[in-house]
Every structure is written in structure tokens, then in C-alpha cells.
Amino acid sequence: MTEGSRKCDASGVTEPPGERSGMTEYHVPCECGMTVAVEVSKAGTTQTCVCGKAVQIPLMSALRRAAGQKPMPLNALEHFRLLSREGGLPDNVSCPITGAPVNDTVWVHVQCEREEVRYGRIKLWQHLLLFLFTRVILFYRSGRPEVYGRDTAVEVPLGINRAARSSFATARGQRFLKEALSCSPTYSQLLREYPDADVWVIDD
């Protein structure tokens, strides 16, 4: 399969219908009796109350339920996990390479995002240099380490035709693999939500 020549057609895939309620902030109670105001983007994370305690923020579905809102459409990961539990994967009917009917499966690792740790204005490597050359460490630290994102990865089965298995055995290109995954409506949605994901074939 050359670039841009996948044999399947995912043009009918659309984003799940959404509901824009206009509500951009939710309030989660803390043990101290106060509430933590959180934006939609903070759902599923841990935030700090003004009292100093860490407060676990529920997922978006729980936040909406607590606020009396209608359930939110499943995001890509939730949709994948639901279909996986129900045995609905792989959901592509034709091979991404040959276009022939699916009669085999390859497994692909999708690294959606990675956790990143930052150390204020002075980065970790700068602390190491300070330690090596001046024997002073942590004295100049300008802030506590902050964690951005989270390690999120899934292993997905992709339907193929047996004649194409050798092509996947040596596949390394990100574009090739992402085009192949996009033949599945579920994985196409996943890659739209995580466009910077890294993917690779899991060796048999």
C-alpha cells in the first residue's frame, strides 16, 4: 500500500453527535467542605483545593450526571473499550492493503499520549549540571515538578487479509499504519482525537 492508496473507504465516518450545553465549569466537593471549580478539560485529573488537599475529579460523564445534564457521547477510548468488551472489534470489513474480505488479524499498539514531567523554569538536566559542576542541587529549584498529560495506550486488533500479513510484519512507517487503522471507524475516531499518537505493529 503506497501513501494515500488504502483500499478501504472510511469516508462515511463522522464525529459522534455532541451536545453543547454552554456549561464550561463544574464544582467538585472537597473533604474540607469547600468545592473545587474545574473546567471540562480537567475531568479525570487530580486538582488541589484551596485547603491544600488533593481532590480527584470524576470523569466527564460523572460530572455531567452530578450536574443533572444528559449523558455525553462516548469519546474514542470509551467507545473502543466498550466494543472491545462486547467483542465488536475489529470492525473493518475489508483489508486496508488488498481490499479483499478480512480473514486474519494483526495487533497494533497505539500510544495515544505520554506523561511529561516539567520542573518549573529550571529543567531536570540543568539540575544535573549544577550537581556535577558545582555540587549544588535543588537550591535553585524554582518550582515543584508538574505532570502534564498521562500515559495512555491501547492494543487494537486490525482486520486484514492473510495475503497482506507480510506487509504488516515489516511495517514501520507511521503514515502507513495510521492509514491502515483509519479503515476502522473506531480507530479512525481514535486517531482524530489523538493525532500525534505513535503506532507500531506488535510482533506475533
DSSP 58: P
CA within 13 Å, CB half, 35 = 6
CA distances, 176 to each of 5, 157, 169, 187 (Å): 9, 16, 13, 14
Residue 119's pLDDT is 56
Residue 121, helix vs strand vs coil:
coil
Q: Output the CA torsion sign for 2, 88, 17, 47.
A: negative
Which segments of the chain have a pLDDT < 50?
3-4, 10-22, 135-142
- Predicted local distance difference test score (pLDDT) of residue 157: 96
For residues 145 and 119, is the Cβ–Cβ distance under 8 A? yes
Tell which residue, 167, 159, 39, has the closest CA to residue 106.
Answer: 159
Helix (H) or strand (E) holding 49: none
Query: What is the distance between the alpha carbons of residues 57 and 47, in angstroms, rounded to a whole number?
Result: 7
Q: In this structure, what are the phi and psi dihedrals at residue 129, rounded to the nearest 5 degrees?
A: -65, -40
What is residue 65's predicted lDDT score, i.e. its pLDDT? 83
